[in-house]
Amino acid sequence: MTTTHSSFPDDARARRPLLALVTALGLLAAACTSSSDSPTAESDPTPTAGDAASADDRGDTDDEDESEPSGVRGVTDDTITIGFVYLDLDDVRERGIVSLNFGPQDEHMQLMVDRVNAAGGINGRQLVVESRAFSPVGATEARSACLELTEDIEVFAVLGAIRGDEVFCYTQQHETVAIANADLTTDRVERSDAPYASLNASRERTIQEFISVTVEQGRFDGSTVAVLSTDAVEVASDIAIPSLEAEGVDVAFEALVRGDGSLGGAAGELAVGIDSMKAAGVDTVVVVGDAVIAINLFIGAEFFPTLFFTDQGSASLTASRSDFSVFPEVYTFGGPPAVESFTDPRFQDECVAPWNEANPDDPVVAPTLVPEGEPSHTTGLLIACRGLELFTAIAEAAGPELNNATFAAALDGLGDVDFPGTGAASVGDGKFDAQDGLSLKRYNTDAGENDPLFEVIDS
């Protein structure tokens, strides 16, 4: 077959803030149980490694608490102070952007911290958590939260919704440990001056494993393949397309939207792309990132290829807003969805039961049974339980002399971790995206009300 590599015009990496924001918030609902590096709103310009300064260089040591051993910020003989950042979903609901409600995430985290302390803390130290919510609209509030936690409070580490290049405020500019929910990349790890890990599998690893598994099973055999992205163009061009080609899959068309940032502009470019894909005989589309607009345009244009979603969160979100039953097959790849995580015995015992005991009038219920407008505590508790599980395991392994160096050594040598709600995970030996146990899944057109939309398939 003769391959025609085509793409939409590149307007110097045009900004797409609205598309990115809608995508980031939509995918967040599945972020804690998916394995993808979900798209995020653009951050402040990224500092270079040379811009980072140590605490001694800044003269910060003069202001440190005299009780702190060896000048380690956030660590005293008796306590370890950590930060927790999370998206202010009340703000975006009021703006009418999305209706996500994960409940009081600061209270979820505080409850989990209290449990760690009740069990003796970490190597004899009690945990103190400082939680900060920030609006996901733009990067201003995320930056402010970073500066307050690192410069004013001087925490040892920060956990939670650290989006994309925003991690450098912690790991470069303030040499503060970061454990993010997602968005880890090899480049960000290499450019960080403090230990950095994520709960979910990186987008790089997820895409590469996804493509390897599906190619091995012959799911691309005889297909004419296109790669589509509206908000993660660089990921599509730098990871997805090279991974397909490395596995011997010929990419006949690249539908990479680089428009003016408006929803109308994206829709217009997609419409042209659909016509081109039809003309090229495309019958299989690999979707990278957000896809709600694209898939509904496919349906309107009566274009029904087999779909491969590299982002499980995007697949779930799109399935809730589009009719997947008209497509021959729809595949994705990742960890268990929230409905499965909820039933995990360890999650029930260590996360759900303590919350229900402390909050009998606001119990955790299965995600599918949450009334409209009420908080879905499952996602909030998964974020808190998993983040604290990883931090605690690393900090305990670091030993009583806790600092960035001992934490980094413990992170690199930790090995297996068992996450409540999502099971197998591991970090170490250069791998810092924790979640393992990823699996190939196919859309289940016969799924019942309490069944996952995507069922695991082995072959």
Chain segment 170-201, per-residue pLDDT in tens = 999 999 999 999 999 999 999 999 999 999 99
Whether 38-199+340-427 and 17-22+204-335+440-456 are alike in CATH topology: the answer is: yes
pLDDT of residue 458: 74
Buried b (16+ CB within 10 A) or exposed e, 348-375: bebbbebbbeeeeeeebbebeebeeeeb
Pairing of strands 79-87, 126-134: parallel
Q: Which CATH superfamily is domain 17-22+204-335+440-456 in?
A: Response regulator (3.40.50.2300)
pLDDT of residue 96: 76
Indicate whether 343 pLDDT > 80.
yes
26 — pLDDT class (breaks 50, 70, 90): very low
The full set of domain ranges for the chain reads 17-22+204-335+440-456, 38-199+340-427
pLDDT of residue 49: 31
Nearest to 255 by CA among 222, 293, 201, 220: 293
pLDDT of residue 292: 87
Share of the chain above pLDDT 90, in %: 67
Instruction: Indicate the SS3 state at residue 375.
Output: coil
pLDDT of residue 313: 86
50 — pLDDT class (breaks 50, 70, 90): very low
DSSP 435: B
pLDDT of residue 22: 47
Mean per-residue pLDDT for 423-433?
94
pTM of the model: 0.81
381 — pLDDT class (breaks 50, 70, 90): very high
Nearest to 201 by CA among 186, 213, 190: 186
What CATH number is given for 38-199+340-427 in this structure? 3.40.50.2300
Indicate whether 346 pLDDT > 80.
yes
Indicate whether 297 pLDDT > 80.
yes
Which residues make beta-bridge pairs with 284? 225, 306
Residue in this structure with the two tokens 């302390």, named with its chain if needed: 117
Cα angle 30, 33, 36; round to 5: 75
Nearest to 160 by CA among 395, 390, 436: 390
Is 257 exposed, middle or buried, given 0-12, 13-18 or 19+ CB atoms closer than 10 A? buried
Mean per-residue pLDDT for 144-150?
98
15 — pLDDT class (breaks 50, 70, 90): very low
8 A C-beta contact, residue 86 and residue 176:
no
